Structure 1
Amino acid sequence: MPSNPPPSPAPSIQDATNIPPKSGAVDALNKAKQPPPESNETLWTRRLVILSFWAVVICLGIPIWWKTTTVYRAVLPLQAMMDWSDGKICRPVFPLQIFIDAPFLLPADAQNLIRTTQHALDDLNDFSAHHLRLLLSEPRSTSNFSQDIVQTTSIKGLGDETHDREDIALKINLIPGQSGSVPRSELQPYESRLDVFYTPNQIPSSSSTSSPLATFIANKLQFIFAEEQASLAYLLSQSNTGQQTQIKSMSQETAASLARQSTRSFKYAPTYHLTFSLFTPTSIPTEWDIEAALKEYMQPLLASLSSISEFTVDTQLQLYATFSPSVQQPEEDPTTGTWLLRKDDLSGFVNAAEWPLSPSIGKGPTVNFVLYVPTADQAPLVVKENRGNSWLVPQWGGVVILNPPYGEKTKTPSTLTKNDLQPAMLTFSNQLLSLLGLPQSPASLPLRISTLTRVRAASLLFSASSTLGALARLTQALESIAIPDTVAHSVDQTISRLHTACTDLREGRFHSALANARIAELEAEKAFFERSMVGQVYFPEEHKVAVYLPLLGPVSVPLIMAALKEVRKLRARAQAGA
């Protein structure tokens, strides 16, 4: 009989779940999960809310943020500033006016002598920016000649133009002399005057093109102003104005000497503060007549330099001022009985740790003058290498060792009188001239001061021009830096003063050129070191991102996500409608 088939196994729970549902049930389930359809009113309300937020941000938030965070930049004449820095606007020249006083010559002979001397002088000059112009003084009677040698009256040159005495480089007095000792000259040490002695037969005739007297005067003038020409040529060659002008005959020794002088002297300042200090390792001397000494030996020199810079003076006395620990103690020379200080120890002679020498006293740079009085058992104290008792510290000051009188080991006086201080004050005067950059020649102090006036005027003109160029490059490189109106005003003042100073140089008004160049330098420095600008130089863009990101991030993310979501819905509707 046929067997019954085995019963089929019951479906498991897993198999039951894998049974595909009917399509109708799926549609009903999906329809139940979807939100109810939005009405057009709700849709437009949501869109208007999103748009209102974006409208507030774009129309109100961004303009306020832009207005409150935008850095104000005043308009600067950048092209003019760069042109001044590159030396395209002003090429300074130095026409020196030299007046010749010839009361014993006929006007025609005097004019012929001037013309002949001018030709000889032009042939000797190889520096076109510096030239000497010879002019004839106003004719005067011979009876007043001797008086005019001592005191010069107003001088007239070509036409009716009256020249200021301070801008006259030199005056030449032609004095008849005896034969056999002429031509010869005498340069006055404390006046801008050259006395030239001649004989009548040395005056050139109207038909001659040269004469011994004209050649002698030309050579003498070239010698007197040789160092000034070298200084100005060196200054032009070292400036960044593109004027690489040099005297052809300048030797390497001259250039090296001018470089050392430039390194040794102070940078120009309208005011210098002079500090005279007396230091002694013991309790004596306790007094020094410094006020009388300054009035007698230093005040006339400071008055002569007042047209270039102003000076303030103070004094101090310190007892028990010992050597610096870094200095080796002096050694006695048994043959001469002197105490020797090595040259290598001079740089550390001043005990800066204990001696009260502050470089920040006063308005301008401080020039220190130290007078050291050694003990009686270490006197006389001199420098071993040159047996001198004074030396110069570049861009700092000078030191003088005051030994007992006559070099004997006498007791140190308790009071230093004006006569005792005379050698030291004269040394301090020479050191001051060297620190200010005064040339070493000629022998006339007024001529050297006039040279310093012209050199300082040119150096300030170059310095102010260079500062303008640096400011222009800075503002172009840092576009986010603020430029206040005070900077623009200072730049305008600098350019105006530079134009005036350049015109003054060309017309021979050197004192006026120095005054205008000084103001131009001050205004240029004021503009470059404006506090608001200096502070933002060190504020990079990364700092701004670090400040704004924590504030703008939480606000911008919801706005952006809502806008993107709405854009996707619009695209979906557009695709469904298509």
Structure 2
Amino acid sequence: MALETVEGEASPPPNIAEAVNIQKKPPPESPQNVWTRRMVILAFWAVALLLGMPVWWKTTEVYRASLPLSQMTDWAEGKNCKPVFPLRIAVKAPMLSSQEIETIIRITQHALDDLNDFSAHHLRLVPADPIIHRMSIQEIQEYGNKTSSQRNDSEDISLLLNLKPSFGSSTSSTQLQPYAATLDIYFPNNQVPLSTATSSPLANFIANELQALFSEEQASLSYLMASIPSVAQTSKSKALSSEMATKLSRRSTRSFKYAPTYHLTFSLFTAKARPSAWEIEAALEEYLSPLLASLSIISNFTIDSQVQLYATFSPSIRQPEFDHERQAWTVRKEDLGGFINAAEWPLSPSIGAGPTVNFILYVPDSAQSPLLIAENGGNSWLVPQWGGIQIMNLPFSADGSTRPTVLTNDDLRPAMHVFSNQLMSLLGLPDTPNSLPLKLSTLTRLHTTSLLSSASSTLGALARLTQSLTSIAIPDSVATSVTTTLYRLDAACTDMKEGRFASALENARVAEAEAEKAFFERSMVGQVYFPEEHKVAVYLPLLGPVAVPLVMAALKEIRLLVRGRRVQDG
């Protein structure tokens, strides 16, 4: 049997197999297409860089007004103003000749300079103007309260020294007017020094009296300046005793911070239904208005009043206890701080722009009257930086029927005197000298120094803020307020050096208000709490989808361009 041989299909030629396995490639781009693609990519980049970036930069640009940072820092460091207090004391002596007055002034000035140990505060004796010799005490005070532009004078008169010969007396004496800045000095006629004298018992007496008169003011100014770092570096403080330092510290803790306007609230709280009314308007007009008129050279005041019946004690304190020895009800001193029933008594902490000073007249229940403080037997006390409280113990019968329904003007007289003293303490008036105009002058200088320091430190804080946060906006209003602050600070410092303290206080008050306005600008405060990470979180989702295609296309074209050049070079 014959075998057949089956042959398979013939294998394709080798060149055909290689052609099948080779992957097909796109046709090469023409130079025109490459140029078009690159122009399109370049156009997108041009739009992004030349149009998009400037528009984004302009629309998101933070406007920063130019600020005089160096001047602001210098004020904060106390380099631009060294507080000085030249007090001008006019000497009036109608019974002496002009030559004798000049001799007394010369000798007394030397004695004053020897006694003074606080260079920033110095007393300057000058002859009284001829117009003053013809004035009464009230007219002299009004003359001294006028501004320099009103009286055509360069300096305020801090004190009028009225020299009066005393016939029949061998010793000198003084009398300070309580409601005028006038010190009357009575001296023996034989103590008038000769024109060639270099010392005199009368001059030494006057110098010692003036030094004692302004000793508390010097201590207060020295204490205030020592507590201000920028001022303490440039001024030498006066050495204070521990008692005086404690006294001044207690006063600063008790008194309100200076404000251009204070709101006074007078409240009548009664434990029962009687009394239900009081003649507060007449009492304020008679007993408090003169004081407020005098204080108006420093601050303004608004007043309101209220009455509440059935006012109970605060439940947080112990109830009054009966003292058999005094035959009176007593409340302990440690409970005075919680005496006010804040939950039920309608006492607003602040009304209007300025701080509120509260004065409470409390009439206790007949069953708990008279009500006194256990430790000292008093019936009034101060609450630091808040107000004052006065307990009025009215006469009553066993059933309480004799209690008046209305507290008259005469009934309110003792309480109004207490409230007046409490107001002066809360405003920071010094205890001495015993002359209201001199106390107000001292308070004027204290407030001026404090306001200058506050405005200067605020400017320094604003300068540091703008330098540390470069992305924070600085509107033109801030630059305007800073310029006004610097101008007012310069004016206040000049006024102080020239003895115009009323004008210095006004300039310092405006400077402090403008500095606070600039520092707490709303647009700036909002951006202080907006860090840079927030901006990245906002822009990244918007710019990412647009930037990725542009960047990848640019990188691809750069690779093709580099590869083509290598092929040409190879």
- The TM-score, its normalising length taken from structure 1, stands at 0.91
Paired AA for residue 226 in structure 1? S
Deviation at 1:571, TM superposition (A): 1.7
Matched residue, 1:321? 311
2:191 is aligned with what amino acid? Q
Aligned partners of 1:94 and 1:129 also within 8 Å: yes
How far apart, CA to CA, are the structure 1 residues paired with 2:285 and 2:470? 55
Partner of 1:480: 471
Structure 1: which amino acid aligns with 2:484? Q
C-alpha distance in 2, partners of 1:407/1:523?
A: 59
Q: Which runs of 5 or more residues in structure 1 are unaligned?
A: 1-20, 156-160
Work out which of the residue numbers 239, 262, 266 in structure 2 matches 1:272. Answer: 262
1-structure distance, mates of 2:69, 2:15: 80
Alpha-carbon shift at residue 283 of structure 1 (Å)? 1.2
Amino acid at match of 1:271: T
Work out the CA distance in 2 between the residues paired with 1:168 and 1:409: 60
TM-aligned CA deviation for residue 106 of structure 1: 1.8
Corresponding residue for residue 352 of structure 2 = 362
Q: What is the aligned-residue RMSD (CA, Å)?
A: 2.3
Spell out the pairing of 1:337-376 with structure 2 (5 A cutoff). Answer: 337-376=327-366
Mean Cα deviation higher: 559-568 or 53-62: 559-568
Counterpart of 1:443 (choices 434, 438, 458) is 434
Query: 2: distance between equivalents of 1:44 and 1:434?
Result: 89
Q: Which residue of 1 aligns with 2:79?
A: 88
In 2: Cα distance, 1:247 partner to 1:524 partner: 27
CA distance in 1, matches of 2:448, 2:57: 46
Code of the residue aligned with 1:530 in structure 2: it is E
For 2:56, the equivalent position in structure 1 comes to: 65
Who is 2:172 aligned against?
183
Report Cα offsets for 1:369-413 as digits up to 9, x if no partner.
Answer: 111110011011111111111111111111111112599996432
Gap runs ≥5 in structure 2: 1-12, 145-149
Alignment of structure 1 residues 418-433 onto 2, 5 Å: 418-433=409-424
Q: Distance in 1 between matches of 2:376 and 2:154?
A: 43
2:197 pairs with 1:208: yes
Partners in 2 of 1:168 and 1:264 — Cα distance?
30
Asked if 1:40 corresponds to 2:31, the answer is yes
Instruction: Report deviation, 1:138.
Output: 3.6
Query: Pairwise mapping of residues 169-568 of structure 1 onto structure 2 (< 5 A)?
Result: 169-180=158-169, 182-244=171-233, 245-405=235-395, 411-568=402-559
In structure 2, the residue corresponding to 1:167 is in which secondary structure?
coil
User: In the TM superposition, what whole-angstrom CA distance separates every residue of 1:26-52 from its partner, at most 9, and x where no partner exists?
Assistant: 57634x332221111111111111111
Given that residues 396 and 403 in structure 2 are in contact (C-alpha distance below 8 angstroms), is that contact kept between their aligned partners in structure 1? Answer: no
Q: Report the Cα distance in structure 2 between the residues aligned to 1:427 and 1:448, rounded to whole angstroms.
A: 18
Q: Give the TM-score, by structure 2 length.
A: 0.92
Q: How far, CA to CA, are the matches of 1:375 and 1:276 in structure 2?
A: 20
Residue 8 (structure 2) aligns with: none
Q: 1:150 to 1:524 in 2, by over 3 A?
A: closer
Q: What amino acid sits opposite 1:356 in the alignment?
A: P
1:352-375, Cα deviation, whole Å (9 max, x unpaired): 111111122123111111111100
C-alpha separation between the residues in 2 aligned to 1:558 and 1:140? 90
Q: Classify 1:505/1:364 alpha carbon distance in 2 versus 1 (closer, same or farther; 3 Å).
A: same
Q: Secondary structure at the match of 1:96?
A: strand
1:133 positional shift: 0.3
Q: 1:240 to 1:29 in 2, by over 3 A?
A: farther
Following superposition, the deviation at residue 242 of structure 1 comes to 4.2
Taking the aligned partners of 2:564 and 2:118, their CA distance within structure 1 comes to: 88
Secondary structure of 2:229's aligned partner: coil
Q: Distance in 2 between matches of 1:408 and 1:129?
A: 64
1:571 to 549, 559, 562: 562
Structure 2 CA distance, aligned partners of 1:73 and 1:26?
A: 73
- Which amino acid in 1 is paired with 2:494? T
Distance apart, 1:249 and its partner CA: 3.5
What is the Cα deviation at residue 107 of structure 1?
A: 1.5
Q: Secondary structure at the match of 2:230?
A: coil
* Aligned-pair CA distance for 1:182: 2.4
After TM superposition, give the deviation of residue 178 of structure 1 in Å: 3.0
Q: Aligned pair count? A: 549
Q: 1: CA distance between counterparts of 2:334 and 2:305?
A: 28
**Residues 408/205 of structure 1: CA separation in 2 closer, same or farther (3 Å cut):** farther
8 Å contact kept, 1:332–1:340:
yes
1:107 aligns with 2:98: yes
In the alignment, is the contact (CA less than 8 A) between 2:103 and 2:195 conserved in 1?
yes
Question: Aligned partners of 2:381 and 2:155: how far apart in 1?
Answer: 33
CA distance in 2, matches of 1:268, 1:475: 28
Give the aligned residue type for 1:525.
Answer: E
Amino acid paired to 1:231: S
Label 1:148 to 1:277 Cα distance change in 2 as closer, same or farther (>3 A): closer
* Aligned partner letter, 1:74: A
SS of residue in 1 equivalent to 2:158:
strand
C-alpha distance 162-419 of structure 1, shift in aligned 2 (>3 A): closer
SS at match of 2:232: coil
Deviation track 1:309-354 (CA, whole Å, cap 9, x = no partner) reads 0000000001111111111111111222211111111111111111
**Cα distance change on mapping 1:513 and 1:172 into 2, 3 Å:** same
